[in-house]
A and B are shown apart, each in its own frame.
Chain A
Amino acid sequence: MRLRARSGSRSRTSRAVIPGWSAGLAVLAAALLARENPAQEGERSPSRADYRIEARLDGETKALDGKLELRWTNRSGEAVRDLWFHLYLNAFSNNRSTHLVESDGKLRNKDVKEGWGWSRIVAIRVAGAENGGFEDVLPSLRYEHPDDDNEDDRTVFRVELPQALGSGETVRVQIEWESQLPRARRRTGYKDDFLLVAQWFPKLGVYEAGRGWNCHQFHMSTEFYSDYGTYDVTLDLPIEYEGKVGASGFKVNDSTKEGRVEVRFVAPSPADQRREDAFGKRPLVHDFTWTADPRFQIYRQTFHFQDWAERFPEEVAEARRIFGEEPKLRDVEVTVLLHPEHWRQRKRHFQATCAALFFYGLWFGEYPYELITVVDPAWGAAAGGMEYPTLFACGTRLFATEDMHTPEGVTVHECGHQFWYGLVGNNEFEAAWLDEGLNTYTDSEVLQRVYGLDRGTTDYSRVPVDGVRVADLPGGGAIGDALAARELRVPLPFVGDPKLRFLSPSGALDYWRDQPLFTFVSQWTDPRRADRIGYLADPDTDPIETAGWKYVDRESYGVNSYPRTGVALRTLQGLIGDAAFYKGMRHFARTWRYDHPYPEDFYRSFQEGSGETLDWYFRELFQGTGTVDWSIAVEQKKRVERRGFFQAPGGEFLEQERADPEEEESEEEKPKTPYHVEVELRRKGELCLPLTVRLTFADATTRDFVWSREEQQAATWKRIELDSEEKLASAVIDPERRYYIDRDLSNDRWYDEQDKLAPWRWAERVLAQYQHFLHFIQGLGG
């Protein structure tokens, strides 16, 4: 479903801003948390939200009731008159919510008819002063729709403060709420006894100076955004969950009483809250999620930096060289919660998590928490592939091998989100690419280094078989499918399906039909190349820098937020070199840790760290929709022997001839550079990046040429002509493969010698495929 056209400005948010002078008068002598410097009027640093939550789950109905006390310290530099909250679960309350409307009433391609979820505020009270009384603000509660005018959407509400809250002041908020967990279809809820409970409590939005409350409705394509702080959460659960609960943070208490279990978590852990991280900051988190399942099997191991440093010494050396400091990362306890059928993959989950902790830590700064929890969601729960502070859900399948990058790919990616989004808390509504895209870039780098190429497979009855088909199965269209005995479309009222399906897709039968051992080809893909393929699915519809719900459709959101950003970053790395790139990224990660950067903050911070001027690059690649396709063409000629009449010194014309036409030229007669080469470079598209072209000659010598950005801006082509002693063997654009942004890599190189075998090799596969199919289908006749 296409979203309604929006203007380019940010969506409406609250503008309840008190002028500075009256805000200064409103500063109260509230007790401020001691650890951070409070922002005074006009100054800005991230506000802070500390939650203490108690919640009780009814095991039968999956109703979750709770109460919380929130201490919010306003450090926006402005005074605030109201508070805006998210009630994310209301996105699943009915099919009129913005979330369900945008997804056509479907979650995971299925109409939602039952398993709804909702959240209702029962009481809400606020108090300003530390010892002040609480005032009931429930009568002022109003549901807001800052992004659309959908009155049925209840995912955002606001309440009025009895008096303005000045910058530097803290408000305490007590909320009681009732909720019904939804059947897990999009990240949160339950499935049988499995629980993954995310975005489950009334969560404060983010107040931004000059912008007001940034508290968007829960869209189909957007994720989350909230202030950093601490969480102290006590859960009262049925007894069957004893010992089977995981959550953000550290478990400090676990007791049973009257057939129930009470478990308490603190995030970050008490020890982490007392120490400074590698960048000299006190760790904080901006969300709390928990999970439980009586079927969980628990695997615990510790990540040790030294183990990985010994495995990748060259990476450590490179980091040392680039950053000028000795790399060292803290130990992290890794807890993996697995379902029984995936128990055999426990070490793989652990290793993939460690791979992310190692490389992301090496490049962007140490993971500051003492623990991390990895969740294998229940079958059918649709809760996998999602990140939360110090906890993430991955997802795997039976029969997956390491070279299929399952579960390694999703595990590295979701663990990587601890850094991009977890530690650097971008606004996932408005700038999803700032975490997804940076993470996509990084996880591909990790996967390629640790796991190598990704193996392509084809499934038969959920069992992956190595390789893929070269050609399509016979059929296509109504006539084709009928001829190939797949299906015949006829009206069959008594069956209700207008098709006679002869041969249904069926694992064992299809395997016998396809004979993969004879017909399939291996397919191996570099994860970085996979990013490029993802980007090219929709390379030029929307700019990367687009708010999450404002892309033309979900595909554009997916392409731009993930692979296109990854490709743009990788290309940037190719442009400025590894050292400058990683310095820029690390500087951004350090500067904005526990804070909320926007795109302009990234651009500025990156340039500061890298020492490069790159405004043009960010403007063209992140804010524009330009693409590029470079191509190369080569013409190579050998000097022909002299023929015809040539004028002699005396003036007469004499025919050039030899006594023996087969006689070879003497050394004096032979041209020194018998080969004349013309290399033509072309550019299609708007982007201009300096390009290296490498010519390799028959004697293995090489010559590099550069087509500069300025030259490309002046003309869309360039010709290189030269005379050479040796024959040109190849001409390749971007020989080091520094750029991944090219729309078509097939025209980027030229080789004098043609591959004679490869066409026969692939034709043999096609022949085998169709011959086996025809033999199989012949059996239906006799």
Chain B
Amino acid sequence: MSSLLDDDLTGPRPPVFWGALRTTLGRTPIWLTCWLAPLCLALVLAVPWRGFYQGVLANRYEPGSVVAFMDEGFRFDHRAELASLKRDTAGIAAALALVVMLFGVFAGGGWLQVFLERTQGHSLRRFLWGGARYFWRFARVWGVTLLTLALFSWLMYGWPWKMATKLLFGAEDGDLEVLVSERSALYVNWAQDGLYGALVGLLLVWGDYTRTRLALQDTRSAVWAGLCTWGLIFLHPLRTLRPMALLFVIEAVVVIALGMLARNADRGLGPESGAGTLLVLFALGQAALLWQGIARGARYHAAAQVSKQLVPPLAQPDPWAGRVGGPGGPQYPIDSTDDYGVSV
């Protein structure tokens, strides 16, 4: 595993995204932890559903008849209990969403601690230490992220977009029915959704680089770091965005491939299916989430690599200014009581 841990900069270097993936894959305890956290939270939500279905199905449905799919009649007959369960679960899930976002804040610090100090061993311990160290700074970045998300939502789905469609198409209040055809409306919708998706993606990349800058320079201002990051991205779009885009593409390809397998497995479920098919479904879903966790970690590594090349270190005060000698030698402040001399 040493090759995965070894991100020595002296030899020929692989592409940033590739090196990021390799290094991250070597940090097994970390990405396992990142996978486990949402799993545990989701289990809290899923367990009541198992109980619900066990109670509802009980002796009322022929074994195997509701395994493959669930017709609308079933949902309708149990709509009152389902509505209540859905409402309760959705509310708890909202609270857990906040918890998991905070975990994300924590995990970002952990990943950066491990990658920036190039931890050798005890990576989980350093991960936890780093998460705690950077938590409040990264929480501020999270806040800025949400506000920027709100801005993007407003731009693409609020007044500016409606004004744009009114000027371009004469659409009042964003109503695309004024367009000539459904296809035109579809293209406009796709453009809107696509632009918004791209902006959100860009924002998430910005967040990664901002957190990296804060950790790299050990500064505190999330706003200033954020502004500098926007500048970095605009000045070096290819170097900053390319590795992130490639990582996303790889992530998406693997996830979609696993998804196709999962869909086929799901469609293979029938009245005679056993627990094996279910386990395969579960395993495929977890494999996708594990991979996505690794990809997330890899983005931090990539951001760290790129930032080390592009982000200049801050001017730091000389830590040795008030001391005699450099590192390794006597280091004590000189005052009137000091009568030592140094002879060469």
- Residues of A participating in the B interface, judged by any CB pair closer than 8 Å: 110, 192, 339-342, 378-380, 397-398, 453, 456, 461-462, 470-477, 479-481, 483-485, 488, 495-497, 500-504, 506-509, 512, 515, 517-519, 521-526, 529-530, 532-533, 536, 634, 730, 744-747, 749-764, 766-768, 770-775, 777-782
Contact = CB atoms under 8 A, between A and B. Distances in A.
Interface string B216-247: 00000000000000000000000000000000
B97 A777 contact: yes
B278 A760 contact: yes
A778 B43 contact: no
Given A398-B183, A778-B104, A517 B72 contact: no
Interface stretch (B138-146, B308-316, B330-338): B138-146
A515 B259 contact: yes
A495 B154 contact: yes
A379 B86 contact: no
B46 A533 contact: no
A376 to B, nearest CB: 10
B288 interface: yes
B102 interface: yes
Contacts of A515: 255, 259, 288
Contacts of B269: 761
B101 A763 contact: no
Nearest to A767: B46
Interface in B12-63: 38-39, 41-43, 45-47, 49-51, 53-54, 56-63
Closest 7 interchain pairs by CB? A782-B108, A781-B104, A517-B259, A380-B177, A474-B93, A763-B50, A767-B46
Contact of A473 (B46, B90, B256): B90
A503 B49 contact: no
A369 B245 CA distance: 62
Contacts, number: 325
Given A480-B94, A517-B260, A782-B138, A772 B50 contact: no
Nearest to B85: A471
Interface string B95-118: 111101111111111000000000
Interface stretch (B3-11, B121-129, B155-163, B319-327): B155-163
Given A517-B260, A782-B109, A483 B89 contact: no
B127 to A, nearest CB: 13
A379 B181 contact: yes
Interface of A, helix, strand, loop or mixed by DSSP:
mixed
B197 A772 contact: no
B342 interface: no
A506 B198 CA distance: 11
B72 A484 contact: no
B289 interface: yes
A719 B142 CA distance: 64
Contact of B273 (A496, A532, A757): A757
A611 B266 CA distance: 50
Given A476-B87, A518-B262, A759-B57, A533 B196 contact: no
Contacts of A755: 57, 61-67
Most-contacted residue by chain A among B58, B65, B77 (CB, 10 A): B77
A763 B196 contact: no
Contacts of A778: 38, 100-101, 103-104, 107
A401 to B, nearest CB: 15
Contact of A767 (B43, B141, B156, B260): B43
B189 A771 contact: no
A763 B97 contact: no
Most-contacted residue by chain B among A110, A471, A781 (CB, 10 A): A781
Contacts of A745: 73, 77
Given A771-B39, A778-B103, 16 more contacts: A470-B49, A476-B91, A476-B94, A485-B146, A501-B150, A504-B196, A521-B70, A757-B278, A760-B278, A767-B42, A767-B282, A772-B289, A774-B100, A775-B293, A777-B97, A779-B104
A484 B157 CA distance: 19
B331 to A, nearest CB: 38
A751 B182 contact: no
Contact of B72 (A533, A751, A767): A533
A768 to B, nearest CB: 5
A771 B109 CA distance: 22
A509 B68 CA distance: 28
A341 B45 CA distance: 44
B74 interface: yes
A470 B59 CA distance: 22
Nearest to A510: B193
B150 A500 contact: yes
Given A479-B94, A753-B63, A762 B49 contact: yes
B198 to A, nearest CB: 9
B63 A509 contact: no
A751 B60 contact: yes
Contacts of B296: 779
A533 B153 CA distance: 37
Most-contacted residue by chain B among A525, A764, A771 (CB, 10 A): A771
B72 A461 contact: no
Interface string B182-193: 111110011011
A501 B154 contact: yes
A477 B292 contact: no
Contacts of B179: 379-380
B281 A764 contact: yes
B69 interface: yes
B186 A480 contact: no
B275 A760 contact: yes
Contacts of A781: 100-108, 138, 142
Contacts of B274: 757
A109 B196 CA distance: 27
B57 A475 contact: no
B211 interface: yes
B149 interface: yes
Nearest to B178: A380
Contacts of A529: 71-73
Nearest to A509: B197
17 contacts: A341-B183, A378-B181, A462-B185, A483-B95, A506-B200, A509-B197, A517-B259, A518-B288, A523-B70, A525-B73, A751-B59, A751-B62, A764-B278, A766-B89, A767-B45, A775-B289, A781-B101
Given A495-B158, A759-B53, A502 B150 contact: yes
Given A495-B154, A745-B73, A754-B57, A780 B94 contact: no
Contacts of B101: 485, 777-778, 780-781
A519 B278 CA distance: 13
B177 A379 contact: yes
B102 A472 contact: no
Interface string B265-276: 011010001110
B302 interface: no
Contact of A746 (B60, B97, B158): B60
A730 B62 contact: yes
Contacts of B104: 777-782
A652 B95 CA distance: 73
A476 B61 contact: no
B183 to A, nearest CB: 4
Contact of A471 (B39, B49, B156, B289): B49
B46 A770 contact: yes
B285 interface: yes
A775 B295 CA distance: 12
A495 B159 contact: yes
Contact of B181 (A341, A536, A753, A754): A341
B272 to A, nearest CB: 10
A766 B46 contact: yes
B249 interface: no
B193 A507 contact: yes
B187 to A, nearest CB: 10
A502 B153 contact: yes
Given A524-B71, A526-B71, A780 B292 contact: no
A754 B59 contact: yes
A484 B93 contact: yes
Contacts of A763: 46-47, 49-50, 53
